[in-house]
Amino acid sequence: AAAKAVAAELEWVRSNPKAKGNKSKARLNRYEELLSAAAPKEMRNAGQIYIPPGPRLGDVVIDADHVRKAFGDRLLMDDLEFSLPQAGIVGVIGPNGAGKSTLIKMLMGKEEPDSGTIKIGDTVNIIGVGQERMEELNSDNTVFEEISGNLDEIELGTQSVQSRAYVSWFGFKSGQQQQKVGNLSGGERNRVQLAKLLKAGANLIILDEPTNDLDVETLRSLEEALLNFAGCAVVVSHDRYFLDRIATHILAFEGDSKCFFFPGNYAEYEANKIQRLGDQAIKPIKYAPLINV
């Protein structure tokens, strides 16, 4: 019954991203309360990844207004505009070098737009990992030490779980938890960083290529965790099937320094792109030259 109630409230939240009235806020509050009460026990029993809900989001999450950003002599984005909706999961797509990681750095406050503004709401608490995440790990620690901080229990929101159980959710069973981080493969280090990130507690999660080298079981668990998360997520990914399952919106780098913000998953975006652009939809992406203005 509890699981059905959580699912019903989440469906309402995801289908009403622009609702801001008192009734809407009450529904958001109810979902967060249900998730906090019901999910941890069920997730622990199932051995699934669980993302604890962070502080309640206000009306403004992220608003990008006429953003312009260049890298060297290439104009990556020009006149970028979008508003991240409450409870939205935005998939960011485009070829390598298009500007996706630069966008993430701007959302994280690590870079500034050349012009235009990116407004972060006062209630927003961001956690995120970029592709430089490997450098953030201590190679001398074991997997267990790096993820748990050597504590017996890990706090997830208002709940706590056994640290060894939590570490196992990310594919590290018994003896694997004693491996040194420095001896791990790239995919395994990816999982360690993901485990560290998702326990932190926030209302906006930013993930840069989170599915790289994940095994199928961990990937499905991550999908479910994101779908059950009460906050927002921005996910850079080349995995169209992953985005089909989780995305409520797509932010696409379409070429000529233009980005398109679309309400829907990847498959729905692709259909819309073909309808809008016709034969142009399949042409390679090009960048506009940088012209100082």
CATH of the domain at 73: 3.40.50.300
Are 240 and 271 contacting, i.e. CB atoms less than 8 angstroms apart? no
Are 161 and 40 contacting, i.e. CB atoms less than 8 angstroms apart? yes
Are 255 and 285 contacting, i.e. CB atoms less than 8 angstroms apart? yes
Residue 150: CB atoms within 10 Å: 11
- Between 283 and 178, the more confident residue is 178
Q: What is the mean pLDDT of residues 170-189?
A: 88
Is the same domain home to 28 and 91? yes
Is the same domain home to 278 and 140? no
Parallel, antiparallel or unpaired: strands 126-129 and 204-208? parallel
Is the same domain home to 161 and 236? no
Is it the case that residue 174 has pLDDT exceeding 90? no
3-state secondary structure of 78: strand
Q: What is the mean pLDDT of residues 169-187?
A: 89
Are 34 and 6 contacting, i.e. CB atoms less than 8 angstroms apart? yes
Is the same domain home to 98 and 172? no
Identify the DSSP state of 188.
Answer: H
Domain annotation covers residue 235? yes
Q: What is the mean pLDDT of residues 66-75?
A: 92
Structure tokens at 63: 């608003």
The last residue of one of the domains, among 151, 168, 201, is: 201
Is the same domain home to 77 and 214? yes
Is it the case that residue 275 has pLDDT exceeding 70? yes
The last residue of one of the domains, among 150, 170, 201, is: 201
3-state secondary structure of 216: helix
Indicate the number of domains in the chain: 2
The last residue of one of the domains, among 168, 186, 201, is: 201
Domain annotation covers residue 13? no
Range in 23-32, 140-149, 172-181, 278-287 the model is least confident about: 23-32
Per-residue pLDDT at 36: 47
Is the same domain home to 108 and 31? yes
Domain annotation covers residue 7? no
Range in 114-118, 231-235, 286-290 the model is least confident about: 286-290
- 64 burial via Cβ count (<10 Å: 0-12, 13-18, 19+): buried
Is the same domain home to 219 and 266? yes
User: Which domain covers residue 264, as residue numbers?
Assistant: 24-36+54-125+203-282
Domain annotation covers residue 10? no
Is the same domain home to 31 and 112? yes
Is the same domain home to 145 and 257? no
Q: Rounded to the nearest 10 degrees, how much is the dihedral formed by the CA atoms of 108, 110, 116, 121?
A: 30
